[in-house]
Structure 1
Amino acid sequence: MIQFDCHAHVYETVTAVKGARYVPAAPAPLADWLAHQAAHGLKGGVIVQVSFLGTDNSELCAALAGLDRQRFAGVGVVPLDVSEAALDALVAAGVRGLRWNLVRGVTLPDLAAPATRRFLDLLRARGLHLDIHLEGPRLAGWLPALTDQGVDVVIDHFGLPGEPDAGRDPLIGAVAGLADRSALFFKFSAGYRVPFDIRPHATELLSLIGLDRVVWGSDWPHTQHESRTSYASTREAAHHWGPLADQVAARHLYGIGPA
């Protein structure tokens, strides 16, 4: 059973950073997200820093400040050279992971570079996970090295697979080829961002990594797809992705739910 919405964006104002790829037309208030949760019998969830706000996590922290830490957590975005003090402040605010948004040709971080190694050291020391938003064809070749860094890796949106045939999908093949999948988790969210039926990919991923390494997310307010989906339809879609149960993964990754 799904108890948590582990991928949603909350912002009370729309003030984008310079160069933002997309700016929504309206805010996504915390009260609205909580109302959706209540309507669908959910117990809490995870607020993910939205891309148009860049590394300014103030909206995220403000939302978390009024929420129960046993039911809610956050995933922030910071620069590679983030200071330890700034990172500790995010952890104190309820952030349990940091996101790399690498879609649309963004250069992949060099995992061997000193700045990246320092960044990953900071995550390891604080028990934070790395949240990856990247298209499957690009992610596939990077996955073995990424999951060998000593931090948990959470892949957004099924990994945005690029091949309709799950049996031939490069990302599915990369997951299958991992000698050790213990650091790998997936978010089953935003199937509408993939231009084909995602159900075969969900089945393959569940068979490879197991129920305890999957969480569900609404991707609310469905940025760039606001007119073609809704919270209700995203919740309904999850019923077709397998017998999902998020209690173990949500507790491990975000510290939410029963101990």
Structure 2
Amino acid sequence: MIRFDCHAHVYETVTAIDGARYVPAKPAPLCDWRAHLDARGLSGGVIVQVSFLGSDNSQMCAALSDLDRTRFAGVCVVAPDVSGEQLDRLAGSGVRGVRWNLVRGAAVPDLQDRTIRALLQKLRARDMHLEIHLEGPRLAPILPALSELGVRVVIDHFGLPSETVPKDDPMLRAVSDLSDRQALFFKFSAHYRVPFDVAPHAQELLSLLPSDHVVWGSDWPHTQHEERANYAGVWALSSCLGVVSDRAAVRTLYGIGSGLNDSLGS
């Protein structure tokens, strides 16, 4: 049973950074997201820093300050040279991961670069994970290196597969070819960001990954797809994706959910 929404964006005001590729027309208030969770009997979730706010995580941290830390967490965006002190402050606010949003031609960080290696060491020291949003064909070549970083790696949005047949998909083939998948996690979220049915790809991923390495996310408020996606629709689809339980994964990645009654978390 899915108990957590592990991918949502919350912002009370819309004040975009220069160069933002998309700016929503209206805020996505915390109270609205909480209402969606309550309506579906969900126990908590994860706020992911939205791209148009860049590395200004203040709205996310403000939202987390009003939430129960045993049921809610955050994923931030930071500069590669972020200081340990800054990460400590974010961790103190409930942040458990750092996101790289690399779609639409953004440069993939050089994993051997000194600054990137220092960042990864800081994440390891704080038991934080790295979350990656990247198209499947660009993700596939770097998956082996990502699996050996020494940090947990969370892949957004099914890995944005590119081929309609799972066995033909380069990203899924790359997952299959990994000798060790213990560091790799996937988010089943935002199916509408892929131009075909991703249910078969979800089933393939579930057959390849350890059973506790998948979480679900609504991707609310569905930025760039507001006209054709809504919470009710993505929640209805979740039952078709084959995620039996997210309890172990959310504990591992976000440190939340440990206080839930066993009957609710199964």
Give the alignment's TM-score, normalised by structure 1: 0.99
* Residues 133, 159 of structure 1: 8 Å contact kept: yes
| 8 Å contact kept, 2:2–2:243 | no
Q: Which amino acid aligns with 1:105?
A: G
What are the superposed Cα offsets for residues 72-122 of structure 1, whole Å, 9 maximum, x if unpaired? 000000000101111110000000000000000011000001010000000
Equivalent residue runs for 1:61-72 within 5 Å:
61-72=61-72
Equivalence for 1:138 = 138
**In structure 2, distance between residues paired with 1:166 and 1:210:** 18
Preserved contact between residue 157 and residue 190 of structure 2 (Cα < 8 Å): yes
Output the aligned Cα RMSD: 0.7
Percent of matched pairs sharing the same residue: 65
- Tell me the amino acid that sits aligned with residue 150 of structure 2: G
- How is 1:149-164 mapped onto 2 (pairs within 5 angstroms)? 149-164=149-164
Structure 1, unaligned runs of 5 or more: none
Q: 1:29-108 to 2 correspondence within 5 Å?
A: 29-108=29-108
TM-score by length of 2: 0.96
Specify the code of the residue in structure 2 equivalent to 1:147.
S
Separation in 2, partners of 1:63, 1:184: 28
1:227 is matched with: 227
Query: Deviation string for 1:188-218 (max 9, x for gaps)?
Result: 0001110001011001000000330000000
Quote the Cα distance in structure 2 between the aligned partners of 1:84 and 1:247: 29
Structure 1 residue ranges, 4+ long, deviating more than 4 angstroms after superposition:
none
Asked if residue 112 in structure 1 is aligned to residue 112 in structure 2, the reply is yes
Residue 243 of structure 1, CA deviation: 4.0
Q: Which residue of 2 aligns with 1:212?
A: 212
Show the counterpart of 1:129: 129
Structure 2, unaligned stretches of length 5 or more? 260-266
* SS across alignment from 1:47: strand
Counterpart CA distance in 2 for 1:202 and 1:190 is 12
AA aligned opposite 1:138: R
2: CA distance, partners of 1:146 / 1:96: 18
Corresponding position of 1:9: 9
